[in-house]
A = this chain, B = another copy of it.
Amino acid sequence: MNIEMIEAAADRLTGHARRTPLLSSAFLDDLAGRRVWVKPECLQHTGSFKFRGGWSALSALTPEVRARGVIAFSSGNHAQGVALAARRHGVSAVIIMPSDAPRMKIDNTRALGAEVVLYDRTREDRDAIGQTLAEERELTLIKPFDEPQVIAGQGTTGLEIAEQAAEMGVSRADVLVCCGGGGLTSGIALALEAKAPEMRVRPVEPEGFDDVARSLVSGRIERNATTSGNICDAILTPHPGEITFPIMQRLCGPGLVVTQDEALRAMTAAFERLKVVAEPGGAVALAAALYHRDRIEGDDVIVTISGGNVDAALFSTALTRFGGQT
C-alpha cells in the first residue's frame, strides 16, 4: 500500500465518484469548542464512502476477470457500493448480507441489481460463505476493507480532505474517522501522510466495539466479543484487518469511543446544523468531536460522516429524542 495506489485509484474514480464538499457550521464550532470541518460521504453515490472502494476494486480488475462477476459480504454499505460499481461496469454482483441488516440497505442492494444472499450474523461465518460461493461460480471476492484496491479507493477521501482543508487554511488537525475494519481509516491515513503530514488520523468506534482502539493500545489485533447488538451496524466488524491494522498502528493517534446515545445526538446535530443525513455508524466521528472535546487537540478538527443509510423509523427516534437540543 502506498500513495501512488491511492492516486491511481483517484484517477480511475474521476467522473464516477462524487467529490463531496467540506461543510461547516458556526453552531457546531460553538458546541465543539474549535472549528469543525465535516466531510459528508453520506452524499457519495449509494449514500456512503464505500462506492469509492467498490469502484476502485472493480476498475482495477482485468476485463476478463471482471466479466465473470464479483461477490462481496457486507452489512449494507459495501454491498450497495459494490452493487452500483458492478452495474455501471455491466457485470453481475452477488452480495452476502446479514439477515438483520437495515431493511433499506437490503432493499437498495437488490434494487441496484445485485443478487442478495442473507445469512445469520450470530451463527454463520460470512467469510466462509463468501469464499465458497466465489469458488463455485468463479466470482472475484471484493473484501470490505482488507483489500489493497479497496483501501486505495477509500483513501481518495483523504486526498480530497487534504486539498479542501488547505483551501480553508487548515494544515494541522485531528482527523476523526468512523472506523469498522479500518479501510477508510487506513486509506485516509496513508493519503494524509503524503499530502498533509501535520494531520493526525484517529479512529472512532462505538462503545463495546472498540477493537481498533484497543489494538492500537496493545499493539496487536484485538477482537470484539460480538458483532451485533448496537445501532452502529455499519462499523461492527470483529477485528481490524491484517492489512489495515499495521497502517493504523504506524500512522494513527489514539482511538476514541462514543456511546449509542452520542451517535444519535450527533445524527440530530447533522440534521439541524448541516442538513445532511447521517446513519448511526456514520455519526460517531462527529459525536466524538462534539461530546469528547477534551480528548481532541488543536484549533481545528476534521470529521468524516461515513454514511447516511438509516431507516426512517430510527432517524425519527433520534429527532424525537434530541431535536431542538443541539
A interface vs B, CB < 8 Å? 18-21, 23, 26-27, 40, 42-43, 47, 84, 103-104, 108, 111-112, 268, 271-272, 274-277, 308, 311-313, 315-316, 319-320, 322-324
Contact = CB atoms under 8 A, between A and B. Distances in A.
Please provide the 3 A-B residue pairs with the shortest distance between their CB atoms, ordered closest to farther.
A312-B323, A275-B308, A312-B319
B277 A271 contact: yes
A320 B324 contact: no
20 contacts: A18-B23, A23-B43, A26-B112, A27-B108, A40-B275, A43-B275, A47-B275, A104-B272, A268-B312, A271-B277, A271-B312, A275-B277, A277-B277, A311-B323, A312-B320, A312-B324, A313-B319, A315-B316, A316-B319, A316-B320
A237 B18 CA distance: 36
Nearest to A20: B21
Contacts of A316: 315-316, 319-320, 323
Contacts of A47: 275
Given A277-B271, A320-B312, A21 B18 contact: yes
A269 to B, nearest CB: 11
Nearest to A326: B312
Contacts of A27: 108, 111
A18 to B, nearest CB: 7
Contacts of A23: 18, 43
A323 B319 contact: no
A196 to B, nearest CB: 20
Contact of A275 (B42, B312, B322, B324): B42
A43 B18 CA distance: 15
A139 B140 CA distance: 68
Nearest to A44: B275
Nearest to A270: B277
B323 A43 contact: no
A42 B272 CA distance: 11
Nearest to A275: B308
A26 B43 CA distance: 14
A68 B323 CA distance: 36
A174 to B, nearest CB: 23
Nearest to A271: B277
Most interface-central of A18, A272, A312, A313 (chain B CB within 10 A): A312
Contacts of A274: 43
A42 B18 CA distance: 18
Nearest to A317: B316
A34 to B, nearest CB: 18
A189 B129 CA distance: 56
A276 B18 CA distance: 15
Nearest to A18: B21
A103 B324 contact: yes
Contacts of A311: 323-324
A324 to B, nearest CB: 6
Given A312-B319, A312-B320, A313-B323, 8 more contacts: A26-B84, A27-B111, A272-B312, A276-B277, A277-B277, A312-B322, A315-B316, A316-B319
